[in-house]
Structure formats: C-alpha cells, structure tokens
C-alpha cells in the first residue's frame, strides 16, 4: 500500500504527534524523504520515538522502512515526462524561469558546501595514489568533465566502467591509497552500494557528490559534497553539481599550485607538439 493510502486508511488512529510528522513529510517531501527520524521529529516538534510509533502504526518495522516507502512513492510518481511538464506549466518564459531557478540553487551552495569541506575533499584527492570516478546515467556527463580536469593536473584518474562485471574487475586493485569519487543524483545507482561496501572493506576513502541529503552519512572515510538541484518533482539540470565540481577543481589548484601548474604547462607543450 502506498504511503498516502496508509495515511488515509489509518487516519482515525493517528495521534497529534503522528499528524505533526506526516505534515512535515508532506509539506517538504523532496527534502524530508531523505532525512533521518531525529531531524523529521525535531521539525515536527515531537519526541524522536514518535517516528517509530508512527511507522509501526502504519505496519512498518520501523521508521527507515516507512521513509523508504515514502521515498519510493515520491520518486516513482515523478516520471521524466511529468517532471518536464510540471516545469513548463510553472512559467511561459522557459529560459527566464530556468535562469531564475538555477540562480536560486547556485546561491544556496556556499551555505551547504563550506570552504573547509572543499579543502578537506581536495586534500583527499591530492593524497590519493589514484582517483576512481564513478557515475551512471546523466551524471556521466559531469563525471567525464571532472575526470578530464583532474588528469590535466597530472593526477592519476580511472573512470569506472558502466558494466557491472567490468566494474568488479576494476575494483580488484582498489586499495587504501586510492580514492573513490562517486556522483549520484536523484536516486543512488544500483551499483553504488556494492561499490561503497567494497571501498569500506579495502579502506579506500570515498567522496560522494550528490543532491540526496542524508542518504549518505559522513565519517572518517566518507565525505559528502551536497549540491541541491531544486524540486525532484520537476525538471532538474546539472548546473549546481557542475559548480561544486568546478569549485573542487579550483580548490585543488589553490592548494597544490606547485603540482597543478607544471602539469598544465606540460599539457600546453604536449598539445603544441601533437598539433604541429
């Protein structure tokens, strides 16, 4: 049964605390679908245990299962055609509306991606023996650009292949001196969880550039660069993630100019050689 159907069915049994949580979920679905129970209940103004009670009241084993149900309904109900149409229905001026939305998304970035986070991630890239870049779908457009820019800095980069068997073969040599840089937007690719488990087993640190808040934790071996792209119910572009990726590239240049500048100069020499 879908989330909204569960709410309608169990409506008479819902307490004021239950309804407060439901209001948070339905008022801000795109964000709330990825928040942990404590953040949802904090916004609802109720005790964190209320989230578990609500989940069990609706027939779930706990709040994580309820959140997954809500998240699946949110994503499954926003097909590509519908997302484009909702964006078109909002304004007659397509370019003007798009520029306005993208500008708003870009303005949020300095608050969600502070300079010290970029410095930390750049430090990990510079310290790695090699960087393995992972992406699927539309994200491969951005991952290819990022991998190329890292190579131009003289860094050793491997773009992980799309086929799962090829990916598995590439990960045989993964070690603690490597860095996995994954890009995941809208929903995590099917191959990403096994990749993260493999990285954890080998001790390889991971950086995830994503628009999925609270889907990936942060810890000693995992950093998240969050790039919100607006409502997932509408058409979304890669403008905000690309800005974060470019900021990471520039941060690398700032922190390691003694490495990146000679590499770029060598690139110019090689381009002249091959052009001639």
pLDDT for the residue 41: 92
Does residue 95 lie in a domain region?
Answer: no
pLDDT for the residue 102: 83
Q: Which domain holds residue 237?
A: 110-275
pLDDT for the residue 234: 59
**What confidence category does residue 213 fall into, taking pLDDT thresholds of 50, 70 and 90?**
low
Residue 72 sits in the same domain as residue 115 = no
Residue 237 and residue 232: Cα distance in Å, rounded?
Answer: 11
Encode pLDDT of 130-175 as tens digits. 999 999 988 999 999 999 999 999 999 999 998 888 999 999 999 9
pLDDT for the residue 47: 93
Residue 231 and residue 238: Cα distance in Å, rounded?
Answer: 13
pLDDT for the residue 81: 59
CB of 126 closer than 8 Å to CB of 252: yes
Tally the domains of the chain. 2
Residue 30 sits in the same domain as residue 145 = no
Phi, psi of 219 (to 5 degrees): -170, -165
The counts of H helices and E strands in the chain are: 14, 5
CATH number where 34 lies: 1.10.10.10
Does residue 100 lie in a domain region?
Answer: no
Distances in Å between the Cα of 268 and the Cα atoms of 75, 155, 167, 254, 273 are: 45, 16, 32, 20, 9
Does residue 168 lie in a domain region?
Answer: yes
Residue 212 has pLDDT above 90, yes or no: no
Residue 143 sits in the same domain as residue 262 = yes
Encode pLDDT of 40-59 as tens digits. 999 899 999 999 999 999 88
Residue 240 sits in the same domain as residue 136 = yes
Residue 224 sits in the same domain as residue 149 = yes
Residue 126 sits in the same domain as residue 184 = yes
Q: What angle do CA 74, 240, 68 make, to 5 degrees?
A: 20
Residue 168 sits in the same domain as residue 271 = yes
Q: Of 52, 76, 100, which one is at a domain's C-terminal end? A: 76
pLDDT for the residue 79: 56
Query: Beta strand 206-210 with 222-226: parallel, antiparallel or unpaired?
Result: parallel
Q: Of 61, 76, 91, which one is at a domain's C-terminal end? A: 76
Give SS3 for 210.
Answer: strand
Residue 29 sits in the same domain as residue 149 = no
Residue 69 sits in the same domain as residue 133 = no
Does residue 162 lie in a domain region?
Answer: yes
Residue 61 sits in the same domain as residue 115 = no
Give the strand order in the sheet containing 131-134.
Answer: 157-159, 131-134, 179-184, 206-210, 222-226
Q: Which residue has the higher pLDDT, 186 or 37?
A: 37
pLDDT for the residue 204: 96
Does residue 132 lie in a domain region?
Answer: yes
- Encoded tokens for 241: 């993630």
Does residue 88 lie in a domain region?
Answer: no
Distances in Å between the Cα of 51 and the Cα atoms of 67, 77, 109 are: 10, 24, 30
CB of 188 closer than 8 Å to CB of 164: no
CATH number where 169 lies: 3.40.50.10490
Q: Which residue has the higher pLDDT, 1 or 194?
A: 194
DSSP 47-77: -THHHHHHHHHTT-SSHHHHHHHHHHHHHHT
Residue 125 has pLDDT above 60, yes or no: yes
- pLDDT exceeding 90 applies to what percent of the chain? 49
Residue 135 sits in the same domain as residue 241 = yes
Does residue 101 lie in a domain region?
Answer: no
Q: Lowest mean pLDDT: which of 182-191, 228-237, 257-266?
A: 228-237
Q: Which of 67, 49, 81 is nearest to 212 (CA)?
A: 67
Phi, psi of 23 (to 5 degrees): -60, -40
Encode pLDDT of 66-105 as tens digits. 888 887 766 655 555 565 565 566 667 778 877 887 888 8
Q: Of 51, 76, 101, which one is at a domain's C-terminal end? A: 76
Does residue 139 lie in a domain region?
Answer: yes
What is the total residue count of the chain? 276
Residue 33 CA, chain-centre distance (Å), reads 14
- pLDDT exceeding 70 applies to what percent of the chain? 86
Residue 8 sits in the same domain as residue 115 = no
Residue 221 and residue 127: Cα distance in Å, rounded?
Answer: 13
pLDDT for the residue 219: 56
């Amino acid at each position: 049964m879908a989330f909204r159907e569960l709410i309608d069915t169990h409506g008479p049994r819902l307490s004021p605390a239950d309804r407060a949580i439901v209001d948070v979920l339905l008022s801000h679905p795109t964000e709330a679908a990825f928040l942990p129970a404590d953040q949802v209940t904090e916004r609802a103004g109720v005790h964190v245990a209320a989230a578990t009670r609500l989940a069990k009241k609706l027939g779930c084993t706990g709040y994580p299962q309820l959140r997954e149900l809500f998240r699946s309904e949110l994503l499954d109900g926003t097909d590509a055609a519908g997302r484009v149409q909702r964006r078109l229905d909002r304004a007659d001026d397509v370019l003007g509306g798009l520029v306005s939305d993208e500008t708003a998304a870009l303005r949020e970035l300095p608050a969600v991606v502070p300079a010290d986070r970029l410095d930390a991630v750049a430090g990990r890239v510079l310290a790695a023996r090699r960087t393995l870049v992972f992406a699927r779908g539309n994200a491969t457009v951005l991952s290819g650009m990022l991998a190329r820019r890292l190579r131009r800095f003289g860094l050793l980069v491997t773009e992980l292949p799309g086929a799962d068997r090829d990916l598995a073969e590439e990960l045989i040599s993964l070690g603690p001196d490597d860095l996995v840089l994954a890009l995941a937007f809208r929903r995590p690719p099917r191959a990403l969880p096994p990749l993260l488990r493999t990285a954890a087993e080998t001790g390889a640190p991971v950086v995830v550039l994503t628009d999925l808040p609270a889907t990936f934790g942060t810890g000693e071996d995992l950093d998240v660069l969050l790039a919100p792209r607006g409502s997932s119910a509408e058409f979304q572009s890669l403008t905000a993630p690309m800005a974060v990726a470019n900021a990471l590239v520039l941060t690398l240049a700032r922190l390691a100019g003694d490495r990146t500048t000679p590499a770029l100069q060598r690139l110019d020499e090689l381009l002249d050689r091959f052009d001639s």
